[in-house]
Amino acid sequence: METPVAVLAGTPVDTQMGAVFVKQAGLLACPFPLAADPRSQTAFQISSYAEKMQTVRDVLAQAQTQGCRRVFVYCNSLSSSVDFPTLARETGLRIVTPLDVYRHLAPSYGRLGLIAANAQGLAGIERTLLTANPELDLLGACLLPVVLSIEAGLPPRELVKQHHLGELAEWYRTCGMDALILGCTHFPYFKEALAEQTSLPLIDPAQEMVRLLLA
Protein backbone atom coordinates (compact mmCIF):
# COMPACT_ATOMS: atom_id res chain seq x y z
CA MET A 1 0.00 0.00 0.00
CA GLU A 2 1.25 3.48 -0.89
CA THR A 3 2.45 5.57 2.06
CA PRO A 4 0.44 8.80 2.44
CA VAL A 5 2.06 12.24 2.63
CA ALA A 6 1.03 14.55 5.47
CA VAL A 7 0.12 18.01 4.14
CA LEU A 8 0.48 20.72 6.80
CA ALA A 9 -0.64 24.28 6.22
CA GLY A 10 -2.20 27.24 7.96
CA THR A 11 -5.88 27.00 7.02
CA PRO A 12 -8.16 24.40 5.38
CA VAL A 13 -7.96 26.36 2.11
CA ASP A 14 -4.18 26.31 1.62
CA THR A 15 -4.01 22.80 3.10
CA GLN A 16 -6.34 21.67 0.33
CA MET A 17 -4.22 23.54 -2.26
CA GLY A 18 -1.17 21.64 -1.02
CA ALA A 19 -3.06 18.35 -1.14
CA VAL A 20 -3.88 19.01 -4.80
CA PHE A 21 -0.17 19.38 -5.65
CA VAL A 22 0.66 16.17 -3.81
CA LYS A 23 -2.15 14.27 -5.57
CA GLN A 24 -1.03 15.62 -8.96
CA ALA A 25 2.35 13.99 -8.28
CA GLY A 26 0.56 10.65 -7.93
CA LEU A 27 0.81 10.52 -4.13
CA LEU A 28 -1.79 10.06 -1.42
CA ALA A 29 -2.37 13.24 0.61
CA CYS A 30 -3.41 13.39 4.26
CA PRO A 31 -4.34 17.02 5.12
CA PHE A 32 -3.67 18.66 8.50
CA PRO A 33 -4.67 22.36 8.73
CA LEU A 34 -3.25 24.16 11.78
CA ALA A 35 -5.86 26.95 12.04
CA ALA A 36 -9.44 27.73 11.08
CA ASP A 37 -8.74 30.99 9.23
CA PRO A 38 -5.88 33.39 8.32
CA ARG A 39 -6.21 35.55 11.44
CA SER A 40 -6.16 32.50 13.72
CA GLN A 41 -3.16 31.26 11.76
CA THR A 42 -1.25 34.50 12.43
CA ALA A 43 -2.21 34.34 16.13
CA PHE A 44 -0.80 30.80 16.33
CA GLN A 45 2.38 31.80 14.56
CA ILE A 46 3.13 34.60 17.04
CA SER A 47 2.50 32.37 20.06
CA SER A 48 5.40 31.02 22.13
CA TYR A 49 8.04 28.77 20.61
CA ALA A 50 7.17 25.95 23.03
CA GLU A 51 3.45 26.16 22.27
CA LYS A 52 4.00 26.09 18.50
CA MET A 53 6.46 23.21 18.65
CA GLN A 54 4.20 21.09 20.87
CA THR A 55 1.17 21.73 18.66
CA VAL A 56 3.05 20.65 15.54
CA ARG A 57 4.62 17.68 17.36
CA ASP A 58 1.11 16.48 18.20
CA VAL A 59 0.01 16.86 14.58
CA LEU A 60 3.08 14.99 13.30
CA ALA A 61 2.47 12.20 15.81
CA GLN A 62 -1.09 11.92 14.51
CA ALA A 63 0.23 11.83 10.94
CA GLN A 64 2.63 9.01 11.84
CA THR A 65 -0.23 6.94 13.30
CA GLN A 66 -1.90 7.29 9.89
CA GLY A 67 1.18 5.88 8.16
CA CYS A 68 2.75 9.15 6.97
CA ARG A 69 6.53 9.17 6.58
CA ARG A 70 6.87 12.35 4.53
CA VAL A 71 5.53 15.84 5.26
CA PHE A 72 4.68 18.58 2.74
CA VAL A 73 4.48 21.93 4.60
CA TYR A 74 2.45 24.03 2.20
CA CYS A 75 2.68 27.31 4.09
CA ASN A 76 5.46 29.90 4.05
CA SER A 77 4.60 31.63 7.32
CA LEU A 78 4.16 28.31 9.15
CA SER A 79 7.53 27.17 7.80
CA SER A 80 9.06 30.42 9.02
CA SER A 81 7.61 30.32 12.53
CA VAL A 82 8.13 26.65 13.42
CA ASP A 83 11.52 24.88 13.67
CA PHE A 84 10.85 22.08 11.20
CA PRO A 85 14.49 20.93 10.91
CA THR A 86 14.45 20.12 14.63
CA LEU A 87 11.10 18.33 14.30
CA ALA A 88 12.44 16.33 11.35
CA ARG A 89 15.39 15.16 13.47
CA GLU A 90 13.13 14.31 16.41
CA THR A 91 10.59 12.36 14.40
CA GLY A 92 12.67 10.90 11.57
CA LEU A 93 10.14 12.28 9.09
CA ARG A 94 11.16 13.69 5.71
CA ILE A 95 9.83 17.28 5.90
CA VAL A 96 9.83 19.61 2.89
CA THR A 97 8.96 23.31 3.18
CA PRO A 98 9.02 26.33 0.83
CA LEU A 99 12.17 27.51 2.62
CA ASP A 100 14.06 24.55 1.15
CA VAL A 101 13.28 25.90 -2.31
CA TYR A 102 14.29 29.48 -1.49
CA ARG A 103 17.58 28.25 -0.05
CA HIS A 104 18.44 26.64 -3.39
CA LEU A 105 17.32 29.48 -5.66
CA ALA A 106 18.88 32.42 -3.74
CA PRO A 107 22.38 32.18 -5.30
CA SER A 108 20.86 32.51 -8.79
CA TYR A 109 19.53 36.05 -8.20
CA GLY A 110 20.86 39.48 -7.34
CA ARG A 111 17.61 41.36 -6.62
CA LEU A 112 14.28 39.85 -5.60
CA GLY A 113 10.85 41.18 -4.77
CA LEU A 114 8.85 39.29 -2.16
CA ILE A 115 5.20 39.26 -1.14
CA ALA A 116 4.06 37.23 1.87
CA ALA A 117 0.91 36.80 3.95
CA ASN A 118 2.34 38.27 7.15
CA ALA A 119 5.58 39.44 8.73
CA GLN A 120 6.29 35.94 10.07
CA GLY A 121 6.49 34.61 6.53
CA LEU A 122 8.35 37.66 5.26
CA ALA A 123 11.02 37.44 7.97
CA GLY A 124 11.54 33.71 7.57
CA ILE A 125 11.90 33.89 3.81
CA GLU A 126 14.26 36.88 4.13
CA ARG A 127 16.40 35.01 6.66
CA THR A 128 16.59 31.95 4.42
CA LEU A 129 17.42 33.90 1.25
CA LEU A 130 20.08 36.08 2.86
CA THR A 131 21.71 33.17 4.65
CA ALA A 132 22.08 31.45 1.27
CA ASN A 133 23.10 34.67 -0.54
CA PRO A 134 24.22 37.56 1.72
CA GLU A 135 24.64 39.85 -1.32
CA LEU A 136 21.00 39.57 -2.35
CA ASP A 137 18.91 42.77 -2.45
CA LEU A 138 15.30 42.30 -1.28
CA LEU A 139 12.11 44.34 -1.31
CA GLY A 140 9.20 42.86 0.65
CA ALA A 141 5.53 43.42 1.50
CA CYS A 142 2.90 41.72 3.73
CA LEU A 143 -0.52 41.15 2.13
CA LEU A 144 -2.87 39.50 4.63
CA PRO A 145 -5.94 41.25 3.10
CA VAL A 146 -5.16 39.44 -0.15
CA VAL A 147 -5.17 36.10 1.69
CA LEU A 148 -8.55 36.96 3.21
CA SER A 149 -9.93 37.71 -0.27
CA ILE A 150 -8.65 34.36 -1.56
CA GLU A 151 -10.27 32.54 1.36
CA ALA A 152 -13.51 34.39 0.55
CA GLY A 153 -13.36 33.12 -3.04
CA LEU A 154 -12.89 36.45 -4.85
CA PRO A 155 -12.18 35.63 -8.55
CA PRO A 156 -8.47 35.98 -9.43
CA ARG A 157 -8.72 38.82 -11.95
CA GLU A 158 -11.04 40.78 -9.68
CA LEU A 159 -8.70 40.16 -6.74
CA VAL A 160 -5.65 41.40 -8.68
CA LYS A 161 -7.55 44.55 -9.65
CA GLN A 162 -9.03 45.22 -6.21
CA HIS A 163 -5.70 44.88 -4.40
CA HIS A 164 -3.66 46.68 -7.09
CA LEU A 165 -1.35 43.70 -7.46
CA GLY A 166 -0.50 44.56 -11.06
CA GLU A 167 0.69 47.99 -9.98
CA LEU A 168 2.62 46.43 -7.09
CA ALA A 169 4.37 43.96 -9.40
CA GLU A 170 5.23 46.75 -11.81
CA TRP A 171 6.68 48.77 -8.94
CA TYR A 172 8.96 45.84 -8.14
CA ARG A 173 9.94 45.63 -11.81
CA THR A 174 10.75 49.34 -12.10
CA CYS A 175 12.83 49.03 -8.91
CA GLY A 176 15.05 46.59 -10.78
CA MET A 177 13.98 43.30 -9.24
CA ASP A 178 14.91 40.16 -11.19
CA ALA A 179 11.73 38.31 -10.17
CA LEU A 180 8.87 38.36 -7.66
CA ILE A 181 8.53 35.54 -5.12
CA LEU A 182 4.94 34.54 -4.35
CA GLY A 183 5.86 33.95 -0.71
CA CYS A 184 2.50 32.60 0.41
CA THR A 185 1.05 29.31 -0.76
CA HIS A 186 -2.32 31.02 -1.28
CA PHE A 187 -0.81 33.23 -3.98
CA PRO A 188 -0.63 30.76 -6.90
CA TYR A 189 -4.42 31.28 -6.90
CA PHE A 190 -3.89 34.57 -8.75
CA LYS A 191 -0.57 33.82 -10.47
CA GLU A 192 -2.00 33.61 -14.00
CA ALA A 193 -4.10 36.75 -13.54
CA LEU A 194 -1.10 38.67 -12.19
CA ALA A 195 1.15 37.43 -15.01
CA GLU A 196 -1.22 39.17 -17.43
CA GLN A 197 -0.43 42.48 -15.70
CA THR A 198 3.37 42.35 -15.53
CA SER A 199 6.41 41.04 -17.38
CA LEU A 200 8.22 40.38 -14.09
CA PRO A 201 8.90 36.63 -13.61
CA LEU A 202 6.80 35.14 -10.79
CA ILE A 203 8.38 32.48 -8.56
CA ASP A 204 6.06 29.82 -7.11
CA PRO A 205 7.91 27.19 -5.00
CA ALA A 206 5.22 24.48 -5.15
CA GLN A 207 6.47 22.39 -8.09
CA GLU A 208 10.04 22.38 -6.79
CA MET A 209 8.75 21.35 -3.36
CA VAL A 210 7.09 18.32 -4.94
CA ARG A 211 10.37 17.43 -6.69
CA LEU A 212 12.22 17.63 -3.37
CA LEU A 213 9.53 15.50 -1.73
CA LEU A 214 10.02 12.80 -4.39
CA ALA A 215 13.83 12.97 -4.34
Per-residue pLDDT of 92-106, as tens digits, reads: 999 999 999 999 999
∠ CA 204-205-211 to the nearest 5 degrees? 135
CB-facing half-sphere around the CA of 165: CA atoms within 13 A: 33
From 142, 163, 155, select the one nearest 38 (Cα to Cα): 142
Single pTM value for the model: 0.87
Give the rounded percent of residues in the chain with a pLDDT score beyond 70.
100
Q: Evaluate the CA torsion angle 18, 23, 26, 28 in order and state its sign.
A: positive
Query: What is the CATH topology of the domain spanning 5-97+208-214?
Result: Rossmann fold (3.40.50)
Contacts of 143 (CB under 8 A, 6+ apart): 115, 116, 117, 163, 184
Query: What is the CATH topology of the domain spanning 100-204?
Result: Rossmann fold (3.40.50)
CATH 3.40.50.1860 in the chain, residues? Answer: 5-97+208-214, 100-204
Q: How far apart are CA 8 and CA 16, in angstroms?
A: 9
From 119, 117, 68, select the one nearest 91 (Cα to Cα): 68
Q: Poorest-confidence range of 59-68, 172-181, 206-215?
A: 206-215
Whether the per-residue pLDDT at 1 is higher than 70: the answer is no
